[in-house]
Structure 1
C-alpha cells in the first residue's frame, strides 16, 4: 500500500507534493475540456504549484520516459501472455495503448516534475489533517 508521505502516493494519486492531500489538477486527466490543467495552488495547504511561467515544460522530458515505460510494459505483457503478434501488430498495439494513455501520461509526468522540485512536509500535512477534523 502506498501511504501518505511516499512520493508514489503524491504522483500516482495526483495529489499535492507538500501535503499529499490537496488535488493537483483542475479535473480528471481524461476531462478534455480542462486537459491536464494544474491548479494554481493546493486547496489544502496553499502551496503554489506554478513556481514560474512555463515551469511544466520540463515535464515533457518526463513524459517521454513514461511513454517509453508504457511501451516496454506493453511489449513485456505480449511476451508474458505469449501473443504471437507480428511487428506491425505489435507497433499498432503500442501506438493504440499510448494514445489511450496519453492524458494519464501527461498528468503523471507533471506530477513527477512537481515532486522533483517540491518536497513533502510532514508538519504541514499534520496541520492540514488537524484542520479537516
Structure 2
C-alpha cells in the first residue's frame, strides 16, 4: 500500500511520479531553504517532464494551504486539549508548528500536486524501448 508503485510512496519520498526511480529535487534535504524548489527538468530514467506547463506548480499553493490548516488544527488540539494550554499559548503553538513545518509543507504540496496529474507506469521501461 505504501511501497513503490503507490501514490503515497511518491508523495512522501518526492520521487518521479511515473517511474519512482529518481528524486524530483536537486537537493534531497527539504530544510535547505536556498534550494527548496530546485528541481530537475525531467526524470533521467523515464524522461517524464516535471513542469508540465508554465506555472504548473501554482496549484500546489492551494494544497499547501490545506496542509497548513490541517497542521494548525492538530497543533491547536494538542496544545489546548492535550496540554491544557491557554488560548493564547495554543495560538502561539500554531504559529510555531507552521514555521517549523514550512519547508516540509512546501515540498509535500508540490509532490501531492504533481501526483494528481501523473500516474505510476510499471511498464515505463518497455515504452522507452519502442
Normalising by structure 2, what TM-score? 0.87
The runs of 5 or more residues in structure 1 that have no matched partner are: 129-133
CA RMSD of aligned residues (A): 1.7
Aligned to 1:111: 111
Q: How far off is 1:79 after superposition? A: 5.6
| Contact kept? 2:18, 2:121, Cα under 8 Å | yes
- Residues 28-78 of structure 1 deviation map (CA, whole Å, 9 limit, x = unaligned): 221122122232111322210011111101100000001111112223333
Q: Whole-Å Cα distance in 2 between the matches of residues 108 and 95 of structure 1?
A: 19
Aligned residues: 125
Aligned to 2:26: 26
| Contact kept? 2:14, 2:24, Cα under 8 Å | yes
Aligned to 1:131: none
The runs of 5 or more residues in structure 2 that have no matched partner are: none
| Contact kept? 1:36, 1:103, Cα under 8 Å | no
Aligned to 2:55: 54
